[in-house]
Amino acid sequence: MSKLVTIYGGSGFVGRYIARRMAQQGWRVRVAVRRPNEALFVKPYGVVGQVEPVFCNIRDDASVRAVMHGADAVVNCVGILAEAGKNRFQSVQAEGAARVARLAAAEGVQALVQISAIGADADSPSAYARSKAAGEAAVLQAFPRAVILRPSVIFGPEDDFFNRFARMARFSPVLPVVGGETRFQPVFVDDVAQAAVAGVLGRAAPGIYELGGPDAESFRALMQMLLRVIERRKMIVNVPFGVARLMAATLDLLQTVTLGLLANKTLTRDQVRNLARDNVVSPGARGLADLGISPTAMEAVLPEYLWSYRPSGQYASIKASARNLRKT
């Protein structure tokens, strides 16, 4: 019988790519999510019955153990960018990761891959970064041979980074950025998936890997690249951190007083703290090269999924070709 991997958060942005690649490797894939009915799109990643979405609440021991039973390997992709309701940084990214690792060790799982993030730091002013660091520490304590992947900003067709600002550029006369000089090293989602697969298959030595693409750029430079790709001219306005903190505090307060009815999906105070720090691979850190993976350049991928934000959408290249014909 083929081996089984349980992927917590396997229908999310990163998880779905890992699920697809594990199915291609011939593994049975159990996609553990909160809403299995919304994850049915993963089933065609393999043959009939090879990839199955199942219910799991990462905050509950019994739920995590049930979907892990019989698994040869586990990948934990569960993470949140902002707190809402019962999903807090501590409960999801620290305690949730600890729970997966502890139960994986108890169940005799052979391999564990934890998706963390560059910037994980127990001393960070950001609760997000502190919870990521706490999760890593708990994973390594319970499962010392785990592989921990720390990606920078991840890009790909379903990302919430370039897509978000591209949507904004369609309607707004300006493109506001907080921390315009903060540097990022965006990494392609499928490169992260390949790294996770290497961890599952035992092709990666245990420990921490920081994953970044071939280029480290400032936030402003990334937005300039975005505007070139979607063929729009907008003014990029740097929002001072003081103003950003005030805006974020107001939005956070609105979420609190409305008991979450008005969720702050725009900018939180914790995100402002994160934006004050560079998000690039540390000097000397193990990375994609140590896993035998060549990082994919943004220029090779962004036009493939951001074309819909161009003024002429899918017809942009046709119109450009027609203009060239008139010139000749």
**How confident is the prediction along the chain (328 residues), in pLDDT tens digits per residue?**
799 999 999 999 999 999 999 999 999 999 999 999 999 999 999 999 999 999 999 999 999 999 999 999 999 999 999 998 889 999 999 999 999 999 999 999 999 999 999 999 999 999 999 999 999 999 999 999 999 999 999 999 999 999 999 999 999 999 999 999 999 999 999 999 999 999 999 999 999 999 999 999 999 999 999 999 999 999 999 999 999 999 999 999 999 999 888 889 999 999 999 999 999 999 999 999 999 999 999 999 999 999 999 997 765 665 665 556 566 6
Q: How do the domains of the chain map onto residue ranges?
A: 4-155+187-213+279-295
Contact 230, 165 (CB under 8 A): no
Alpha-carbon torsion, ordered 97, 186, 122, 113, to 10 deg: 30
> Residue 85 has what pLDDT?
85
CA–CA gap between residue 155 and residue 169 (Å, rounded): 17
In the CATH hierarchy, which top-level class contains the domain 4-155+187-213+279-295?
A: alpha beta
pTM of the predicted model as reported, rounded to 2 decimal places: 0.94
